[in-house]
Homo-oligomer: A and B are copies of this chain.
Amino acid sequence: METIEQVLESKNIRVTAMRMLIYKFLVEKEVAVTLSDIENAFVKADRTTLYRTIKTFEEKVIVHQIDDGTGITKYALCEEGCNCDIKNDLHLHFHCNNCNETICLTEHKIPQIKVPDGFVSENVNLVVKGICDKCSG
């Protein structure tokens, strides 16, 4: 079991108190979070720091960004071997219209999408909206 310090160091990110806390927060959450979610969890920290921390995490492929159509960008931890830096994330995302949470369905890969002649597909964003397992039960 890797410690948080080890995770950060392995990604060439300087270890700071704030970064460890935010990383821990992301691990414990199972859903994608907004910057405001992080803000609310760390009221004593400055918004800018949180913002730049998540941007650093994104750059270093610790988290990936999710546009679920709510208008607010969300972030979730990358999986082992995630290559969202070179290609867009290949798994699909689910947004619950009831509890308003967004989750990664990492097991569900995006099918091959055909595009017309002359078009070149580089990546695909796919968000399914509906009712999640917790809300449909």
Contact = CB atoms under 8 A, between A and B. Distances in A.
Contacts of A128: 113, 115, 119, 121, 123-124
A92 B125 CA distance: 11
A133 interface: yes
Contact of A119 (B114, B119, B130): B130
A125 B125 CA distance: 8
A81 interface: no
A34 to B, nearest CB: 14
B122 A130 contact: yes
A115 B124 contact: no
A133 B116 contact: yes
A72 B131 CA distance: 26
23 contacts: A67-B67, A67-B71, A71-B73, A88-B129, A94-B115, A107-B116, A108-B115, A111-B111, A111-B113, A113-B126, A115-B130, A118-B136, A119-B128, A119-B130, A120-B130, A120-B131, A120-B136, A122-B131, A123-B128, A123-B129, A123-B130, A125-B126, A126-B126
Given A121-B128, A122-B129, 13 more contacts: A71-B73, A94-B119, A97-B122, A107-B116, A108-B115, A108-B116, A117-B133, A118-B132, A120-B130, A120-B131, A123-B128, A126-B126, A126-B127
